[in-house]
Structure 1
Amino acid sequence: MGFPGVWMTESQSMIYRVVPKCACSTIGQIMFYSDHGRFFDGDIHDSKDGLHKWSQEQSQSPIENAVRTHAAPTFTCVRNPYARILSSFFDKIAGIQRNGKRYRGNLVPQLMQRYGVDVGSPENGFDFDQVASFRRFLLFARDTIRWRRPMEPDIHWSAMSGHIATFIVNGGRYDKIFFTEKFNHGMAHVLDDLETPVRVDLAQVPRFNESEGHGPKRAHKVSDYFDDLSRHLMWEIYKDDFRLFHYDFDDPDNKMPKAEVDLEEVHAKLSR
């Protein structure tokens, strides 16, 4: 299976397991800058050179060798599951993508027909009932994850623990897992433990939010989107994320983790 979702600097100074909707655009740009002294012009997900990616055939051998020999510090980043699934909804379902189209072609029409999801349009200012539509989307996300129907689960709402586990199961080991909510603190700890061709000043790094400005803004606080049924679905889908990464299931408005990640626990539980 190899190491899907893994990026590595060309200098092999660091290895990163991408977790979608967890600051991956910013992390990728930092990695690119640390080798080249400039940011990639565009969405880092579109880069074809300047950064090793498992999805690029020529990068697979260098990545595999580096991972198997633990030649570089390896890390990933996680995010509050409530905020992450909301971000997935507003970006991938309610938003318009960079190419000017809806995500995955017929996905939104399918959601409208099968689940009654309404996401408005740019023409009406994205005027729709955000709470009702999100809750219906969450039911759809649960169906894709639990029963793989009406489609395979998408990487943007698959559990973080699932993404992170593939790296461990295939022979990798993390040195750090930090929180999107404490981004500068966590990324600084990663950079402190390695040498890069170009020094990175985190205070000067912009946030690369590639989905921003292409869809509706969230109109309510996080807890307004999650009634009792929604929270039941969240636990069904993401209980490992809440437990392993110590996020507060009982208070959706508390975005901060309650404890640091225990790497030994993560490796033990996700290696099975």
Structure 2
Amino acid sequence: MTVDATRRVEPPPLTFIIVRHPFARLVSAFRDKILRGTSFYRPLAKSMMMRHTELYEQHPADWHDFLKVKSLDMPTFAQFVQYIIDERKHRRPLNEHWVPMNDFCTPCPNRFDIIAKVETLDEDGNYIIYKSGVQDIIRPRVLNKAEGKSSDKLTEYFICQLKEPQLMKLIEVYKYDLEIFDYDVQKYLDCVRAKNSSDSKAATSRKPSRKPR
């Protein structure tokens, strides 16, 4: 039964959707499906590495320590992002774990009563429970706040590895999710621009000076 058909039932049920910042969702998919993925995802990971070998150099210096990975024989986050940008450009379907939510669940035509966010799931989840009148069946709960902070740091860690042109293309891929669900990207733009500026200055300082003749 479709969402619209369900809503025509009397009395109409409460409908809701739980969303997450597209970049946090993207980083989670990269870590779970590509870095720690099963054999199902290994051919795809290899393909990502082969497509844009120039982006392989974007492995951060603290890659091993930060992620506790044993090998660099895996795509960089930049390669993963470029794969998604390329697939979108050529109108090929994206994997369900990183397809934009707007494509996956069509939130606009379905008119959900509540749009809950992972970032505020304590409040939003409890509101859904009470609004549905099932608080005697499903007990309201409090989530571990530390988990959210860790997720935020991980998202920044990966997104800030990108170059600004690539980040702008990534924003374009998820622009409707960002607009519909009111998510901001300014802090990611700021950190990418700051990092790129720092890298540019460092590269300039490493160039040998030319002595006047």
Structure with the largest fraction of helix: 2
Residue type of the alignment partner of 2:72: F
From the superposition, tell whether residues 206 and 247 of structure 1 become closer, same or farther in structure 2 (CA, over 3 Å): closer
> Which residue does 1:109 correspond to in 2?
46
1:75 correspondence with 2:16: yes
Q: Distance in 1 between matches of 2:189 and 2:86?
A: 25
Correspondence 1:95-174 to 2 at 5 A: 95-96=36-37, 101-104=38-41, 106-116=43-53, 125-128=69-72, 133-149=76-92, 152-165=93-106, 168-169=108-109, 172-174=110-112
What 5-or-longer segments of structure 1 have no aligned partner? Answer: 4-62, 210-216, 255-272
> Which residue does 2:175 correspond to in 1?
239
Q: Is the 8 A contact 2:129 2:140 kept in 1?
A: no
Deviation at 1:222, TM superposition (A): 4.7
Secondary structure at the residue paired with 1:108?
helix
1:88 correspondence with 2:33: no
Q: Deviations over 1:150-207 (max 9, x none)?
A: xx31111111222231x654xx33110021111111111111111336232313x789
Q: Deviations over 1:194-236 (max 9, x none)?
A: 1336232313x789x9xxxxxxx95973552232022211222
Q: Percent identity?
A: 21
1:200 correspondence with 2:139: yes
Q: Is the 8 A contact 1:90 1:218 kept in 2?
A: no
Secondary structure at the residue paired with 2:174?
helix
Deviation at 1:67, TM superposition (A): 3.7
Correspondence 1:40-55 to 2 at 5 A: none
Q: Normalising by structure 2, report the TM-score.
A: 0.65
Deviation at 1:245, TM superposition (A): 1.6
Secondary structure at the residue paired with 1:252?
helix
> Which residue does 1:66 correspond to in 2?
6
Residue type of the alignment partner of 2:94: P
Q: Is the 8 A contact 2:14 2:132 kept in 1?
A: yes
From the superposition, tell whether residues 219 and 178 of structure 1 become closer, same or farther in structure 2 (CA, over 3 Å): closer
Q: Distance in 2 between matches of 1:218 and 1:199?
A: 31
Q: Is the 8 A contact 1:74 1:174 kept in 2?
A: yes
Correspondence 1:207-246 to 2 at 5 A: 218=154, 221-246=157-182
Output the aligned Cα RMSD: 3.6
Secondary structure at the residue paired with 1:177?
strand
Deviation at 1:94, TM superposition (A): 1.2
Of 65-74 and 85-94, the range deviating more from structure 2: 65-74
Say which one has the larger Rg: 2
1:177 correspondence with 2:177: no
> Which residue does 1:41 correspond to in 2?
none
> Which residue does 1:43 correspond to in 2?
none
Q: Normalising by structure 1, report the TM-score.
A: 0.53
What 5-or-longer segments of structure 2 have no aligned partner? Answer: 148-152, 191-213
Q: Is the 8 A contact 1:145 1:153 kept in 2?
A: yes
